[in-house]
Structure 1
Amino acid sequence: MTGTHPDLAFAHRLADAADTIALQRFSSADTAWRAKSDGSPVSIADEQIEHTLRNLIQRERPDDGVLGEEFGTSGRGRRRWVIDAIDGTASFLAGEREWSTLIALEEDGAVVLGLVTAPALRRRWWAARGTGAWTQDMDPAASTTVQRVTITGASSLGEAAVGIWPPPARLSPSNLAIAARLAAAVRRTSPETDWTDATRSSSPIRKPSTGTGTCHGALLIATGQLDAFLLLGAGPWDIAALVPIIEEAGGTYAELADTPSADTASALFTNPDLHQQIINIANHKF
């Protein structure tokens, strides 16, 4: 799955480097962090991983640009690597295993390759255009068999389990309305909360992927635990790597039009049967 695709092989080497740093920090319970301007945490591991991957890309792909969550854009050209050093920093700092490194490659603005590595879960997912989507148990004691990822799931909203993130208190009024309409139409949401009121929950709300054996809501579709995942506001580094994985597995991706700025988007990942139904609800066409 990687031997005939040099960029995918390189992405795996980037992931190996990220895994080594992240696991060293994670196993030593290194919880040093600072708050970013939006209040979210960034750890030493986030910054060290992104620096390392940028250096590797500069050395081995000097003509390629890089976009990372922590240090922005560098380089120009038709190819750009998109990196989220640790997706799920709060989980990482809390000693929980559902965190990952996201690596994607864009060519002429289109994502052509995506890889998600979750070393604490000993699991990796990846895809390149035209090659299918794949996953592998990275436990050295386990079989190294690579398995193809294929998406199935409910064909109607009334039967569907749908992940939505972030929780109501962090949503804009327009996105809260979308979440409430969707929650009213489906069998269940993850997390299970009141999506009509941003002030009602009195306890912390956990991500859909918490405790599920995966690390990102979109991958719950690939593992058959959800039928759709709606991410209402995220940076390109949160989304890019997931797009080819979900689409090569037979799913769909759509970017909702109502976004707060050029640097964020609202992403819908789902199986094909639910795609238009959810788009209609998001656009208030039902």
Structure 2
Amino acid sequence: MASFDDDLRLAHVLADSVERFTLDSFRAQDLDVQFKEDGTLVSRADTHTEELLRHQLGRTRPRDVVQGEELPTTGHGNRRWILDPIDGTVNYVRGVPVWATLIGLVVDDVPVVGLVAAPALNRRWWAATGSGSWTGRSLSRATRISVSDTSRIEHSSLSYADLNSWSDHPRREGFLRLAGRCWRTRAYGDFWSHVLVAEGAVDIGIEPALAVHDMAALAPILTEAGGRLSDLDGTDGPFGSSAVSSNGQLHDGILSLLNDGLVGPDDDGHGA
């Protein structure tokens, strides 16, 4: 099995290289914030952070592809760095400390390295294929993590992002059905839901609308911790347009509740 430990160390160096800037810009009074065409927010900090990450990768991995949220994809090849400079931009611009820089590496379309750096929380989560999943402040100050052993949805804790995102979603009833079955529900949101699943503090994380830059870093962290990440259809990995993370044991039951009675484009309107 190939080792990606050098790439993981680089991911930490990348996170180090932008941490001072993102922290200094957090709660800044002059932070320029605009709406993108899709209605989401972008700040000057998002764009500049991605520029800093790309500059560092250009020096250290000049042959690799770089794909980010804010800037065009560059490079060609089978190694692809996927960046979300600030995941949780709304939190960032409102002064809520739940935001993070997400750095993922995909090789031959397989997520192999993931790092989530949340400096305002003083925490990181990371993993590389075959090396386990970890949390801490740095590589030298780390604790290995694993998912929970909860085996029943009725005993599980669910975290989601925003109720409004389900308002006109075709799986709205399925989501409400799932939430109603769970022991506890909280809206930790964004990356935090899923890393909490990886460390066993939460059993289920779910979001109905995401992009690959939101999920690429999370996939290795969850799988190396013994969990599972799929889209709402059940396709594993970070390449769908939604996310369900779990401890693995609960996953099939979650998907069943989400999709029970779902009317697809070829159905007759009476459900499955």
Superposition pairs for residues 48-67 of structure 1, below 5 Å? 48-67=48-67
Superposition pairs for residues 66-85 of structure 1, below 5 Å? 66-85=66-85
Pick closer, same or farther for the CA change 1:258–1:167 going to 2, 3 Å: farther
Pick closer, same or farther for the CA change 1:266–1:92 going to 2, 3 Å: same
The amino acid of 1:8's aligned partner reads L
> Who is 1:189 aligned against?
185
1:116 maps onto 2:107 in alignment: no
The amino acid of 2:181's aligned partner reads A
Deviation >6 Å, runs of 4+: none
Superposition pairs for residues 89-168 of structure 1, below 5 Å? 89-137=89-137, 145-168=141-164
> Who is 1:196 aligned against?
none
For the residues of structure 1 that align with 2:189 and 2:166, how far apart are their CA atoms?
18
For the residues of structure 1 that align with 2:32 and 2:162, how far apart are their CA atoms?
24
Query: Which range is displaced more, 159-168 or 11-20?
Result: 159-168
> Who is 2:87 aligned against?
87
For the residues of structure 1 that align with 2:109 and 2:165, how far apart are their CA atoms?
33
RMSD: 2.5
Structure 1: where are the runs of 5+ without partners?
139-143, 192-207
Kindly indicate whether the alpha-carbon contact (under 8 Å) linking 2:34 and 2:43 is maintained by their aligned counterparts in 1: yes
> Who is 1:255 aligned against?
231
For the residues of structure 1 that align with 2:197 and 2:107, how far apart are their CA atoms?
26
Kindly indicate whether the alpha-carbon contact (under 8 Å) linking 1:160 and 1:227 is maintained by their aligned counterparts in 2: yes
Superposition TM-score, scaled by structure 2 size: 0.87
The amino acid of 1:154's aligned partner reads T
Kindly indicate whether the alpha-carbon contact (under 8 Å) linking 2:159 and 2:186 is maintained by their aligned counterparts in 1: yes
Kindly indicate whether the alpha-carbon contact (under 8 Å) linking 1:171 and 1:232 is maintained by their aligned counterparts in 2: no
What's the CA shift for 1:29? 4.3
Question: Per-residue displacement from partner, 1:117-148 (whole Å, max 9, x unpaired)?
Answer: 0111111110000000011136xxxxx63110
Superposition TM-score, scaled by structure 1 size: 0.83
Question: Per-residue displacement from partner, 1:37-90 (whole Å, max 9, x unpaired)?
Answer: 122211111000101111111221111111111113221110110000000111
Superposition pairs for residues 228-239 of structure 1, below 5 Å? 228-239=204-215
1:219 maps onto 2:195 in alignment: yes
Kindly indicate whether the alpha-carbon contact (under 8 Å) linking 2:210 and 2:242 is maintained by their aligned counterparts in 1: yes
1:277 maps onto 2:253 in alignment: yes
Question: Per-residue displacement from partner, 1:139-172 (whole Å, max 9, x unpaired)?
Answer: xxxxx63110111142101111111233235544
Kindly indicate whether the alpha-carbon contact (under 8 Å) linking 2:104 and 2:216 is maintained by their aligned counterparts in 1: yes
Counterpart secondary structure, 2:209: strand
For the residues of structure 2 that align with 1:175 and 1:232, how far apart are their CA atoms?
9
> Who is 1:176 aligned against?
172
Pick closer, same or farther for the CA change 1:180–1:91 going to 2, 3 Å: same
Query: Which range is displaced more, 222-231 or 166-175?
Result: 166-175
For the residues of structure 2 that align with 1:45 and 1:176, how far apart are their CA atoms?
34
Question: Per-residue displacement from partner, 1:213-268 (whole Å, max 9, x unpaired)?
Answer: xx521012134331110111101011110111011111111122399xxx851111
